[in-house]
Structure 1
Amino acid sequence: MSLYRPPPDPEPPQIKEEQEEICISHEEEPLVLKEETETFIKKLLKCDTCGKNFQYQSKLNRHLRAHTGEKPYFCVTCGKRFSQMIHLRKHIRIHTGEKPHPCSICGNKFNDMSAFKSHMRIHTGERPYSCSTCGKSFSQMIHLKIHMRVHTGEKPYPCDMCEKRFTNLINLKTHIRIHTGEKPHSCNICGKTFRQNSTLQTHLRIHTGAKPYSCSACGKRFSHIKNLTTHSRIHTGEKPYTCSTCGKNFSQDLSTMKSHRRIHTGEKPYICSSCGERFSWKSGLNFHLRIHPSEKPNHCST
């Protein structure tokens, strides 16, 4: 695979190593001329835009591209452009599949050193990036930046279809599937599809019977963390959901309180298909169906 290379930046002049030049001032004090000369050269190689100093012209030229936006190196496969050759070389590995940095613990391979170092923190447990507000720590800087939006309230990713906003791009992409109807994650056992991989993994427990969440008080196990949280309130007595009309508290989720509110609203969403009578709760409809001979729920044919 060939790479386009623009004319190289001029390399710094090769300075022959010499003994340090010493001269004597009028006050008989030795002066180190070479050190002063090097300092003077560094001051000359200064970025006019941000004031940063550079020792070599090639490094200054490379830095200037950050201000000009110039990207002289491009990929001959996809045309993507880069400001530095090292970034192009890393990119090329996407096309070649080269992954020169293997993990000696799990065998995973990575195409650049930064991704490899980030991966190693999974094994070491290192979390060098911590939140200054709540102290929570993270293995990657990007995860800390996303977390900080919890405190700042920043939601920089808006949905173009409903204007709902999100703290990170992954959540936005997942949300957009509500509008598009896309469900790219399918169960290989029953074929049911899901918008999120995490939802698929939860669904698979129906088939496997896995119950990874256990109650620390009684040992009962659950397939979903939500069910464990609700169950734990039996032991703690917590009732976090309150009816705004009568003040009654509930330990279960909002769907339970929604059912309770029908006492106040008079809503009757369950309809008998035979006579049209309406009921506030499903249990009321099921009891009513027994008056219709053709719909007795426990009718015996013998």
Structure 2
Amino acid sequence: MAAAASHSNGADAIDQDQDQNDSRIKVENQDPEVTDQNLCKNGIKEENQDSDFIDQNQRSNEIKEESQHPDFIDQVHRKVEIKEDQDPESPRSDPAGPSDQQRKTRPKHHTRKSSLKIQQKVYSGEKPYRCDQCGKAFSQKYSLKNHQFLHSGGRPYSCEQCGSAFTALSILKAHRRVHTGEKPYSCDQCGASFTALGALKVHLRVHTGERPYSCDQCKKAFRALSDLKGHRRVHTGEKPYWCDLCGKVFSRRYTLKRHQRVHSGEKPYSCDYCEKTFTRTSTLNTHLRIHTGERTYCCDQCGKAFTDHGNLKKHQRIHTGEKPYWCDQCGKHFTHHCGLKYHQRVHTGERPYWCDQCGKTYTHPSGLKYHQRLHTGETNTAVSNV
């Protein structure tokens, strides 16, 4: 028994020594690079459990989610565009700003879906917003809103300098240039400048000869839609504008405004040569040709030249024998409208021209002019009443 126990204990001691030797050999034979990798993995595992590292991962995820938000993308796009405009080496960084050609050819970037939709409606011609009073259609909702002020009479935008009111903010902005004298839109052919882009577009048709608006009754064509609308009132007889001082009515607003200067005595247009003043620009331009000697309108039949187109047109009736103006009371015909106007005073008895010295009255301004020479002694020739 004692021999068996001693043999068993000896066997256990040998087994333990063998296990220790195996462990030592395993450690000694293990690759040091593999050991380092295992140590790194353990270190990373511990580091991942660190609270600071977890917070950094959370912030990274938040930034990543935020960068995918549409508003953030829009901001980045705008910053890139601003940076390109401010970059001195960028071809878009001209100090004077991009040219008109660059603006036309530059691709449009839409930072909002709404602006893209609006632009698509413009290109497609879609006009989903319709006025329930007149049926006119618009591509944008605010354009319809501004249009509806025409029916309601509302003019919510007023000039702080003169008090004039307008239906749209864009019209007010263009009006303000009347006070500032700013005319940012100029014609590249003749140099004429304008306060509004629309006025320049109409002016360019003077050079191109384009008259896109025509009357459906007499086929007369016009450069501007407003001129056509005013012309149509010749056929309908409509005269919606009236003078509150004398009751005279007019078919166009600007004609009323020009007439009101008769009462106010305002003559805002003056000649740079002789300081003579006029109530309208067309009269001033015709007057200036007296100083320059310019006569650009010539008769193709007799060669006589005139300072304005109206006088040439009147002169040509001498050759054609045309007398388009007639009296509705006696049937007499006249080549000029003013001739008919003076003639009608024979029937009405109106004599609006009077002498401020003796009170004598005349139907025609030339009759008064000749009469006044009697008082000044300029002539001794008696002039009969005209």
TM-score (norm: length of structure 1) = 0.52
Q: Give yes or no for the alignment of 1:105 onto 2:161.
A: yes
1:172 aligns with 2:172: no
Of residues 124, 128, 137 in structure 1, which corresponds to 2:193?
137
Paired residue type of 1:254: L
Paired AA for residue 255 in structure 2 = T
Change (3 A) 1:175 1:137: same
Seen in structure 2, the aligned counterparts of structure 1 residues 142 and 36 have a Cα distance that, compared at 3 Å, is same
Shift of 1:38: 7.3
2:211 equivalent in structure 1: 155
- In the alignment, structure 1 residue 127 sits paired with structure 2 residue 188: no
- Structure 1 residue aligned with 2:249: 193
CA distance in 1, matches of 2:132, 2:229: 30
Larger radius of gyration: 2
Count of matched residue positions in the alignment of Structure 1 and Structure 2: 233
Match of 2:102 in 1: none
Cα displacement (A) at 1:172? 0.6
Q: Secondary structure at the match of 2:190?
A: coil
Residue 69 of structure 1 is matched in structure 2 by 126
User: More displaced, 241-250 or 125-134?
Assistant: 241-250
Cα 1:201–1:160 change in 2 (3 A) is: same
Q: Deviations over 1:134-180 (max 9, x none)?
A: 34333322222222222332222111012121111101111222222
| Percent of residue pairs identical | 43
2 CA distance for matches of 1:221 and 1:68? 48
Higher relative CO (CA 8 A, sep ≥ 6), structure 1 or 2?
Answer: 1
Q: What letter is aligned with 1:160?
A: D
Structure 1 runs not aligned, ≥5 long? 1-17, 22-31, 43-50, 270-281, 283-296
Shift of 1:121: 2.9
- Whole-angstrom CA distance in 2 between matches of 1:144 and 1:268: 36
Contact 1:241 / 1:257 at 8 angstroms: preserved in 2?
A: no
Point out the more displaced range, 104-113 or 142-151: 104-113
Q: 1:127 to 1:79 in 2, by over 3 A?
A: same
**1:171 is paired with a residue of what secondary structure?**
helix
Q: 1:153 and 1:91 mapped to 2: Cα distance?
A: 30
In the alignment, the residues of structure 2 paired with residue 96 and residue 223 of structure 1 have an alpha-carbon distance, to the nearest angstrom, of 29
CA change 1:139–1:19 in 2 (3 A) is: farther
Q: Deviations over 1:62-103 (max 9, x none)?
A: 6665648373x777888877666655665676659472x554
Task: Compute the displacement of 1:194 (Å).
Answer: 2.9
C-alpha change, 1:205 and 1:69, in structure 2 (3 Å) is closer
Q: 1:238 to 1:141 in 2, by over 3 A?
A: closer
From 308, 312, 317, the counterpart of 1:254: 312
Q: Distance in 2 between matches of 1:96 and 1:257?
A: 45
List alignment gaps of at least 5 residues for structure 2: 1-57, 74-106, 324-338, 340-382
- Contact preservation (8 Å) 1:128, 1:138: yes
Q: Distance in 1 between matches of 2:301 and 2:125?
A: 63
Match of 2:170 among 114, 129, 132: 114
